[in-house]
Amino acid sequence: MSGHHLILGGAKSGKTSYAEQMALNMGDKPVYLATGQAWDDEMRTRIDAHKASRADQFITVESPLNLISALEQNRDVSRVFLVDCLTLWITNLMMAEMSVDESVDALIHWLTANTASQIILVSNEVGQGIVPDNKMAREFRDHAGISHQKLARLCETVTFVTAGIAQRLKG
């Protein structure tokens, strides 16, 4: 068991705000590993708004694909990391035609070996809606669900956030 945390929730559920407050309570200047990529103007605006809201409370590292490298390179900077979010990371891996399963397993291996750091993982729960109507969307939903199960087994704490209310599922 590790001191790592998995925070799940739907879109605009309050999970990121909850995770940010948790990270700030755990230590000075946590490292914020942002996985979002600006594929269009709307996403660029969202990313800019997220950066502005964090101001200088976090050390922000953009890491759309190489989470393990970013974690490794910043271990001496802070012992508290916030990864936001895993579902964007999974999307990026799929778009780059990289193996999601191998990447998630490598992340789990790194998390298991690095228990001195506190890692907060944020992800969208996407398995509670309708079955997607296309193959890629179904594969994405399956990758996210399987990844969440694997990470939930590893993490000491799992929290589900709905309407800004955090519900502890584990820990």
CB 88 within 8 A of CB 123: no
Largest CA distance in the chain: 45
Amino acid code (one letter) for 23: A
CB 22 within 8 A of CB 121: no
Q: Any idea which residues carry the catalytic annotation?
A: 50
Distance CA 134, CA 100 (A): 18
